[in-house]
């Protein structure tokens, strides 16, 4: 049994989420073949062996300098058809959410999308997917061969399981396609996406005005590049923060190691988006706020006094 | 501009999910159903494109139960010209089957654009749009947050981790829409009255079962009871100690 783990790169560098895909793949047992589309060698792809890949294949094509949805989908679908794979695994990242359905459609199947758990039961692949933004979990049996699955970011913590992964480079002949990425406008250096950050600090109405989010940004910086600043729907709807930062049912669902909710009351649609966080801290002036019901640790009081103090303490830890 | 907007009827985002007796679906008693919020951006965009072009047609397509007629009427009240309900008792658990039914309906018409919300807030599958695009052989851009169209050339922006991808594509195309694309309108009373007279065709459909089988719908694991560490800035020291020593996340 072989699993095809689809890795992701940007600007010729493997994205860290790729190691999560390899880690999940090796949990299925059998052989793990990792594959990445690149214009040439992808920096970091050789590390995939460290997390359990038996073989690392780089598919090269001039179109792969940037994400080329149609060309990548064609190359990967052709690979998937040849290989007799049991499962094809993607990350449910922005790229993976775009790419996995294209590949699946070419294989005539659906994606078991954004899963948080995967097991095999006899010959069956069983996955768990949060639905209704995590208000419920759906257990699904995937009967297609190959099964096409995408993994929620931050759930499958990379585990080192060193294998001497053999490397192979294959030039693929596919057209560039009708959809091409002409540029990437990058966010300021060091900006992490809330869906991928290890620490998420979200603010709500309690921040009182948009400029006050700087207290959260300072706290995020104190975590030394591991933290992202999120927001509740209320403040996104008021235009204080971009939608990209919204955590909740109509925003992103996040699973960081540490989620700090600041000045957020805890509407059900927000709780849905962050309840799978490993540890939740709530800071709110209202001791009866629903957010305290899901928080592991709560501090009641004025966030403008509490957060700067917390920033100071975290800075001490991170030196 | 001839534009199809594919919408879904979903439980409102404030819904408290109760699991039905079958252990596989939600208990719909007392649940308020709405148009999927991401589909609102698709519908709004279609109406604006048609208004800008000065002519054309916006057709709303929905796979769902008979009650989804109400969801289609809402879309018509916003200004869509007509609706098609692909009526099935339930929506397939396998999005490929959903896509197959929708693609069969769309096939054969010369659409300039086929729009979807980037995902539905109930099943979170975020794939019916790109699946339909593949089945129709059309170019597809997902999670569009900004859109410019000039003739048959389009430029879309989509959010990726740490940035924005600027994407060139050609029309006709399938696009899935994200929240920042536009500000959906509020339906006016006039629109609600007009919607009652607009054509709404109901076509019974039979979706295949596919390869995804629901085994169980379960409540998420309860989080264990948390604690209030204290009040004010004075509690921060203890909070940090607990995060380090008990939760071990620092």
Domain-located, residue A191:
no
- Report pLDDT for B142: 98
Query: A234 and chain B: CB distance < 8 Å anywhere?
Result: no
Q: Which residues of A touch B140 (CB under 8 A)?
A: 69, 102, 179
CATH value at residue A88: 3.40.50.620
Using pLDDT thresholds of 50, 70 and 90, give the confidence band for residue B64. very high
Residues B143 and B178: beta-carbon distance below 8 Å: yes
- Report pLDDT for B236: 97
Domain boundary among A156, A171, A186: A171
CA angle A130, A132, A134 (to 5 degrees): 40
Q: Do A95 and A150 sit in the same domain of this protein?
A: yes
ipTM score assigned to the predicted complex:
0.95
| pLDDT of B14 strictly over 90 | no
Q: Which residues of B touch A98 (CB under 8 A)?
A: 130, 142-143, 158
Q: How many domains, chain A?
A: 2
CATH value at residue A219: 3.40.50.1220
Using pLDDT thresholds of 50, 70 and 90, give the confidence band for residue B111. very high
Residues A265 and B208: beta-carbon distance below 8 Å: no
| pLDDT of A185 strictly over 80 | yes
**Nearest to residue A296, comparing CAs of B218, B234, B17, B249?**
B249
Domain-located, residue A32:
yes
Q: Do B123 and B161 sit in the same domain of this protein?
A: yes
Arithmetic mean of pLDDT over chain B: 96
d(CA A202, CA A217): 10
Q: Do B175 and B246 sit in the same domain of this protein?
A: no
Pair of tokens at residue A317: 């830890």
With H, G, I as helix, E, B as strand and everything else as coil, classify residue A167.
strand
- Report pLDDT for B114: 98
Domain-located, residue A306:
yes
With H, G, I as helix, E, B as strand and everything else as coil, classify residue A249.
coil
What residues contact residue A15 under an 8 Å CB cut-off, 6+ apart?
A: A7, A8, A9, A91, A93, B161
Using pLDDT thresholds of 50, 70 and 90, give the confidence band for residue A319. low
Which one-letter DSSP state was computed for residue A247? B
| pLDDT of A304 strictly over 80 | yes
Rg (CA), chain B: 21
- Report pLDDT for A133: 86
Q: Do A213 and A163 sit in the same domain of this protein?
A: no
Range from A70-79, A257-266, B181-190, B227-236 carrying the lowest mean pLDDT = B181-190
Domain-located, residue B119:
yes
Q: pLDDT digits over B122-153, tens only?
A: 999 999 999 999 999 999 999 999 999 999 99
CATH value at residue B118: 3.40.50.620
A98, A300, A309 member nearest B236 (Cβ): A309
Residues 3 through 62 of chain A touching chain B, CB cutoff 8 Å: 15
Q: pLDDT digits over A93-140, tens only?
A: 999 999 999 999 999 999 999 999 999 888 789 999 999 988 999 999
Distances (CA, A) of A206 to A216, A229, A234, B40: 12, 15, 10, 28
Judge: B249–A278 Cβ closer than 8 Å, yes or no: yes
Domain-located, residue A186:
no
Range from A179-183, A190-194, A250-254, B20-24 carrying the lowest mean pLDDT = A190-194
Q: Do A35 and A167 sit in the same domain of this protein?
A: yes
Percent of chain A with pLDDT over 90: 85
Q: Do A98 and A156 sit in the same domain of this protein?
A: yes
- Report pLDDT for A124: 86
Query: A134 and chain B: CB distance < 8 Å anywhere?
Result: yes
Q: Do B166 and B244 sit in the same domain of this protein?
A: no
Domain-located, residue A182:
no
* Domain span holding position A31: 2-171
* Domain span holding position B135: 2-204
Which one-letter DSSP state was computed for residue B185? P
Residues 211 through 230 of chain A touching chain B, CB cutoff 8 Å: none
Residues A156 and A96: beta-carbon distance below 8 Å: no
Q: How many domains, chain B?
A: 2
Query: A268 and chain B: CB distance < 8 Å anywhere?
Result: yes
B131, B220, B240 member nearest A136 (Cβ): B220
Size of interface A-B (CB pairs under 8 A): 279
Buried b (16+ CB within 10 A) or exposed e, B172-194: bbbbbbbbbbbebeeeeeebeee
A137, A276, A308 member nearest B218 (Cβ): A137
Q: Do A215 and A135 sit in the same domain of this protein?
A: no
Range from A174-183, A188-197, B69-78 carrying the lowest mean pLDDT = A188-197
Q: Do A224 and A163 sit in the same domain of this protein?
A: no
- Report pLDDT for A116: 95
Percent of chain B with pLDDT over 70: 100
| pLDDT of A285 strictly over 80 | yes
Judge: B131–A110 Cβ closer than 8 Å, yes or no: yes
Q: pLDDT digits over B81-100, tens only?
A: 999 999 999 999 999 999 99
B16, B96, B244 member nearest A110 (Cβ): B96
Percent of chain B with pLDDT over 90: 93
| pLDDT of A188 strictly over 90 | no
Other Cβ atoms less than 10 A from the Cβ of A55: the count is: 17
Judge: B167–A181 Cβ closer than 8 Å, yes or no: yes
- Report pLDDT for A123: 78
Domain-located, residue A310:
yes
Judge: B247–A297 Cβ closer than 8 Å, yes or no: yes
Give A129→chain B minimum CA distance, Å: 9
Give B61→chain A minimum CA distance, Å: 20
């Amino acid at each position: 049994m072989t699993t095809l783990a689809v890795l992701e790169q940007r600007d010729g560098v493997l994205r860290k989420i790729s190691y999560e895909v390899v880690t999940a793949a090796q949990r299925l047992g059998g052989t793990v073949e990792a594959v990445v589309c690149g214009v040439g060698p992808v920096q970091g792809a050789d590390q995939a062996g460290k997390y359990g890949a038996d073989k690392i294949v780089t598919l090269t094509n001039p179109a792969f300098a940037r994400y080329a949805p149609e060309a990548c989908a064609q190359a990967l679908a052709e690979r998937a058809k040849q290989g007799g794979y049991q499962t094809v695994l993607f990350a449910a990242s922005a790229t993976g959410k775009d790419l996995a359905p294209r590949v699946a459609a070419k294989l005539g199947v659906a994606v078991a999308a954004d899963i948080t758990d995967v097991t095999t039961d006899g010959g069956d692949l069983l996955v768990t997917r949060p639905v209704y933004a995590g208000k419920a979990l759906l257990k699904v049996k995937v009967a297609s061969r190959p099964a096409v699955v995408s993994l929620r970011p931050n759930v499958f913590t990379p585990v080192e399981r060193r294998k001497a992964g053999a490397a192979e480079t294959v030039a693929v002949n596919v057209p560039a396609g009708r959809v091409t990425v002409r540029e990437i406008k990058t966010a300021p250096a060091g900006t992490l996406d809330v869906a991928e950050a290890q620490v998420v600090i979200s603010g709500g109405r309690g921040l009182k005005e948009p400029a006050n989010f700087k207290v959260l940004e300072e706290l995020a910086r104190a975590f030394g590049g591991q933290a992202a600043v999120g927001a509740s729907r209320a403040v996104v709807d008021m235009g204080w923060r971009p939608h990209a930062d919204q955590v909740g049912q109509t925003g992103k669902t996040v699973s960081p190691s540490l989620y700090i909710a600041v000045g957020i009351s805890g509407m059900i649609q927000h709780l849905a988006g962050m309840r799978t966080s490993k540890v939740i801290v709530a800071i709110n002036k209202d001791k009866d706020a629903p957010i305290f019901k899901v928080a592991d640790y709560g501090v009641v009081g004025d966030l403008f006094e509490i957060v700067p103090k917390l920033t100071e303490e975290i800075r001490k830890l991170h030196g | 501009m001839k534009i199809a907007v594919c919408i879904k009827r979903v439980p409102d985002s404030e819904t408290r999910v109760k699991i039905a007796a079958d252990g596989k679906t939600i208990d719909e008693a007392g649940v308020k159903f709405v148009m999927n919020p991401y589909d609102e951006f698709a519908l709004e965009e279609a109406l604006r494109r048609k208004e800008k072009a000065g002519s054309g047609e916006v057709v709303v397509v929905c796979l769902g139960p008979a009650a989804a007629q109400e969801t289609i009427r809402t879309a018509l009240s916003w200004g869509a010209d007509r609706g098609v309900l692909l009526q099935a008792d339930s929506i397939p658990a396998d999005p490929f089957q959903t896509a197959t039914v929708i693609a069969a309906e769309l096939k054969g018409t010369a659409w300039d654009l086929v729009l979807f919300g980037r995902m539905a807030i109930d099943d979170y599958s975020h794939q019916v749009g790109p699946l339909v695009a593949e089945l129709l052989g059309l170019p597809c851009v997902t999670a569009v947050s900004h859109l410019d169209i000039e003739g048959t050339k389009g430029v879309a922006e989509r959010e990726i981790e740490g940035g924005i991808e600027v994407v060139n594509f050609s029309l006709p195309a399938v696009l899935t829409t994200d929240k920042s694309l536009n500000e959906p309108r509020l339906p006016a009373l006039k629109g609600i009255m007009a919607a009652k007279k607009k054509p709404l065709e109901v076509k019974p459909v039979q979706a295949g079962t596919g390869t995804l089988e629901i085994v169980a719908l379960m409540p998420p694991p309860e989080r264990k009871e948390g604690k209030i560490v204290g009040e004010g800035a004075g509690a921060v020291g203890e909070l940090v100690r607990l995060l380090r020593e008990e939760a071990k996340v620092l």
